[in-house]
Amino acid sequence: MEYQERVSYLEALMFMATIDEKVEENELEHFNRVAAMYGISSDEIESIKEIVLKKEKTVEEILSPIKSRQTKLALIYELLALCYTDGSYNFAEKNGMTNVCNILNIEISKLRDLENIIEESIQLQKKINTILEREE
């Protein structure tokens, strides 16, 4: 993935983290983990956060550098994972995800498939925790 795509990817993550007007600690941790994985410096990370928090770019401007369909699909998955990090997938996040899919020209059926898989994964993890007698 090109540098500008990585920056846009991270801007999209921060955009989704702020869509419900609050950034949860676990959402911020998820964002920082992805940023580190992409080799983005701490100064750049702070700049990305500031740009998104101050709403200096529209979501269309944030997403426009992302061209590859595979990158778009990976981003949709990553955005969903971020949405679910706080244990819920609220109305604002659902609407935001639909909007992102429309902007990226990704079929809503793909979004629904990914939502279902993440829900199934959460249920599976709960079953594993029960079997292993772990606290949730």
pLDDT tens digit sequence for 42-76: 899 999 999 998 999 999 999 999 999 999 999 99
Sign of the Cα torsion 28, 89, 111, 18 reads negative
Task: State how far the Cα of 14 lies from the Cα of 9, in Å rounded to an integer.
Answer: 9
136 assigned to some structural domain = no
Does the residue 115 lie in any domain?
Answer: yes
How far apart CA 90 and CA 20 sit, in angstroms, is 8
Tell me which residue range forms the domain holding 125.
Answer: 3-131
Per-residue pLDDT tens over the stretch 119-128:
999 899 899 9
- The answer to the question of residue 127 being in a domain is yes
Q: Domain total for the chain?
A: 1
Within a domain: 64:
yes
| pLDDT value of residue 16 | 93
> Which of 27, 15, 10, 8 has the alpha carbon at shortest distance from 82?
27
Write the CATH number for 12: 1.10.3680.10
